[in-house]
Structure 1
Amino acid sequence: MNLKEFNAIVSSPADLRYEYFIKKTADTQILWGLYDEGWAMTHDQDGSALLPLWPKSEFAEHCSIDEWSGYSGRPLDLAAFMEKILPKLEQDGVKTAIFYNNSDSAIVGAGRLMNDLRAALKKY
């Protein structure tokens, strides 16, 4: 991916980045988080925990600054994520911060993310 394409995607509105995330993740069967002796987490305006996720390593690494400066991108297998992690997030009330760009992200509950990923996977 060239810099122009990268910048165009990163600067897109959160809802378009979410759509891009769903399509790319279904296509590659991999999603990315930031990891350093534990997964990078953030919080919404109400203080609720959020797990940030990205469709490609480049986008995750782009956010490895400030409080996440020691973190690096780590891949997650989509099938395992859907089978093990999403149900745990749902149970714990943890939402996801999809495709954070150092400014904003799409805040999505685990149930909706599961449904959107399943719908995208049916196209393959």
Structure 2
Amino acid sequence: MSHNLGLKIDSENRFDKFVKKIIETQLVWGLKSEDGWCVSPSNGFEETDVMPFWSERALAKQCAIEEWVHYSPQTIPLDDFANTWIPGLDNDNLLIGTNWNAHLLGKEIEPLELLACLVQKEL
């Protein structure tokens, strides 16, 4: 198995956990500072930015290092995330990063594609 394929499978597993956990807890975690929510350049798409989110505080916190050290985990109710954030991110042409690891790697998904996954799994 190639290294890239291993990362892709790992990212898909973390994505599945993300969807299950946020439906279960009804919470999504992001990283926020005084300047706002963190955004990162995409790992896969040129000139595209990604706003990362996590299903658990600890997972978000492990990414609040180096250039993101001034960010801290904040919750967003799933209802707000689905009804306000996802359409807003779609309008802003941002991708959503899900359960990124400490190397800031993970699945990047179109906002409306994530919404479809949530609805399919009974948001």
TM range (shorter): 0.7 to 0.9
Shift of 1:119: 1.5
Runs of 4+ with >3 A deviation: none
- 2:6 maps to none
Unaligned runs of 5+ in 2: 1-8
Question: Superposed, which structure 2 residues align to 1:64-103 within 5 Å?
Answer: 64-103=64-103
Shift of 1:58: 0.5
Shift of 1:92: 1.4
Tell me the TM-score normalized by structure 1.
0.85
Question: Superposed, which structure 2 residues align to 1:40-51 within 5 Å?
Answer: 40-45=38-43, 46-51=46-51
Tell me the TM-score normalized by structure 2.
0.86
- 2:108 maps to 107
Unaligned runs of 5+ in 1: 1-11
The alignment yields a C-alpha RMSD, in angstroms, of 1.2
- Partners of 1:96 and 1:67 in 2: how far apart? 19
- Partners of 1:113 and 1:62 in 2: how far apart? 23
- Partners of 2:32 and 2:119 in 1: how far apart? 25
- Partners of 1:89 and 1:48 in 2: how far apart? 12
Q: Residues 25-79 of structure 1, C-alpha deviation per residue, up to 9 Å, x if partnerless?
A: 0010001000002001101141311000000000000100011101110000000
